[in-house]
Amino acid sequence: MSRLKLLIPLLLSTFMPAFSQSAPAVTNLSCTNKNGQTFCTYTEPSSDPNWTSYRFQLYGASTPIASVAGMVPLETNILDNGGYLNSTAAYTQVNRTAPGARMSTITTLGTPLPFGTGLAVYTTLTNGVEYYAVVTVDRRGILAPSTVTLGVNSLTSPVTETVAPIQPVLQIASIDSASGTPPVEHIPSNTTGLAGWFYLHGSGGNMPSTGDYWAFWGDSTMGIHDGVQQVGRVYYNKSGFGQPALYMAPQDRAWYDIGTSSLETYWNGFDYSGQVQQYTQHWLDAVLSYWVSYYGLDPNRIYGHGKSMGAMGQTYWGLRQSAQPFAAIFAEAPVWWIEGNVTSMTQHKTIKTKTELIAAMNVTYYNNQNTPSMVTNCSFKTPPVIWSNGRNDISFPNYSMWTNAVAAANAMIACHRPYAFGWTNGGHSDTNPAEQALLTQYETAYVLNVSYPVFTNFSLDSNFNGTDCDTGTTAPICFNNYGWKWNVTSDTAHTWSGSFSNSQVTAGTCPTLKCSSTATVDLSVGNAQQFLPAGGKTISWSTSSGQSGTVTPDQYGIVTIPGISLGTGSLTVSLSY
């Protein structure tokens, strides 16, 4: 028995960690509440040789915190040098903790935090007062968590907190030389009424290196814990999109929970705790709507733009988001469906899942991300999509790039959706000429609160279901819905009329592979603001060339005139009931 008594302490000492000392505590804890969030700053033990092994935990209570025993932290895994400002530099611990690393400001255009300053941001849930404490944790498991000392790493006075919409914080203005912005891209003093383009970069890319520099600390729906920072830039583009506009570009990058490197989220989110968390989509909703409001942009002329992974973000998130609906989406080489591939915060790699559910949704990520299938649901309204793909895009062999592009195009036609599609026989990097040709034509054509004609089954369209453009790489280029121009002159409760023409209907020089002096097309009334006849109504129509007839809305309320004949020049169509 006595030998057993001696053995038990020996076993416990073997399997239980024995801490000889505690991690060093942070000092100078200070917290302030603004715009619905509390910002807590503190001095980290940056001179400690083990500094980069430390992470931090935030605690909150209604009374001063003298001990965190038995308490559950509000936030864990807060990174070392937590006041660091994310940038286009590689997300590595070396860059984050390098002396001279750019630090954040928590006030608009304020003084950056000193190097080695930690930052914990927590979103206010109820009005009231709160005390906070920050504890140092050794991620190696060698040192015990730091002790708590009132007035050092624990507040002695409470923070008065008020629930309010959370907001990004402007770090550097475009007119500041530190922003690296050329004068032509400086944000004008008055941006009211400008158009806006919201750009999502491709895989391996970054936000631009110019423009207003913003940081945003999201709430608990936007990261693995409250207060995870995201960044983006906004700059002025006077003529690059056919009209003066602000170009808004966030960055898709998230620190791994261990803080040594990062992952891309496919502009969606990632696997975490056994579910796909759509953190990125949530913070994109927030920054898009905030920037449109902050700069006073015209909400009817906001356009989605992206390439590759960014184009996938636009055809997945952009088509579905309602925070600030897009007037149109322009997507170069979109990955229409990645068939369950998702990055994993838990496993620190990309995984494939067909069964994992999206958090708070009773649907698998595999099925939800299937955009070609989604657009076959004609009752689901989408903005116009103008995109390009390559027939031989095998850069993502498991994603069926061309097959899914064709499926999306067929669904657009079947549902009479506004679209334009360009393609070549090339690969992932060969689609820019097709996209640019369509972008130049339609970059100002669509406005969110203005009706427009929708064209399908145009007789001069190339055939993506066949062999058109099955040679070469960047050329030749094939198109669906190339060359339309229109002007809607009436959109009332009982009438709709507009004129339109197409550059492929010509007896002269042909701008594409297919031209003729005559053609046919199905015309639908798109995005009607007032012309919304009920199902079963008989609609009379006529054209300036003498064509006429009657149609009825389909089960989705779409009014379509099939097979209108076109000649060179402009044709006017009028509908009434």
Q: From residue 539, how far is each of 184, 451, 456, 556 by CA, in Å? A: 51, 17, 19, 15
What is the token pair recorded at 320?
């579905």
pLDDT at 5: 40
Provide the pLDDT for residue 17: 56
Whether the Cβ atoms of residue 473 and residue 556 lie closer than 8 Å to each other: no
Place of tokens 């003066």: 244
CA distance 41 to 30: 5
Listed in sequence order, the DSSP H helices in 233-300 are 279-294
Q: Is 86 exposed, middle or buried (0-12, 13-18, 19+ CB in 10 A)?
A: buried
DSSP state of 25: P
Q: What angle (nearest 5°) sits at the alpha carbon of residue 80, between those of residues 78 and 81?
A: 115
Instruction: Walk along the chain (577 residues) in steps of 10 and give the mean pLDDT of each run.
Output: 39 51 97 98 96 97 98 97 97 96 98 98 98 97 97 98 98 98 98 98 97 98 97 96 97 96 96 95 98 98 98 97 97 95 94 95 95 96 97 87 97 98 96 97 98 98 95 95 98 98 97 97 98 95 98 97 98 98
- For β-strands 212-217 and 169-172, DSSP reports them as antiparallel
CA distance 183 to 416: 44
Q: 103 by DSSP, 3-state: which? A: strand
- Amino acid identity at 333: A
The distance between the two most distant Cα atoms of the chain, rounded to a whole number of Å, is 110
Vertex 266: Cα angle to 264 and 267 (nearest 5): 100
The residues that bridge with 303 in the sheet, in sequence order, are 197, 328
Pick the closest to residue 91 from 272, 217, 263 (CA basis): 263
94 Rama class: left (phi>0) / alpha (psi -120 to 50) / beta = alpha
SS3 556: coil
Phi (first) and psi of residue 4, to 5 degrees: -65, -40
The whole-number pLDDT of residue 18 equals 60
Whole-angstrom distance, CA of residue 142 vs CA of residue 225:
24
* CB-based contact 24:146 (threshold 8 Å): yes
Give the separation between CA 379 and CA 383, rounded to whole angstroms: 13
The 27-34 sheet, strands edge to edge: 27-34, 37-43, 117-123
Q: Are 62 and 127 in contact, with CB atoms under 8 Å apart?
A: no
Task: Specify the CATH superfamily of domain 18-161.
Answer: Immunoglobulins (2.60.40.10)
Domain boundaries, the chain: 18-161
State the Cα–Cα distance between residues 85 and 263, nearest whole angstrom: 17
Question: Is the four-CA dihedral 528, 517, 412, 252 of positive or negative sign?
Answer: negative
Query: Which H, E and C letters describe 184-226, residue by residue?
Result: HHCCCCCCCCCEEEEEECCCCCCCCCCCEEEEEECCCCCCCCC
Whole-prediction pTM: 0.95
| 195-200 and 302-307 strand pairing | parallel
Which has the closest alpha carbon to 424: 481, 483, 475, 480? 475
Nearest to 217 by CA among 123, 134, 135, 131: 123
CB neighbours of residue 124 within 10 Å: 21
Kind of pairing, strands 571-576 and 539-543?
Answer: antiparallel
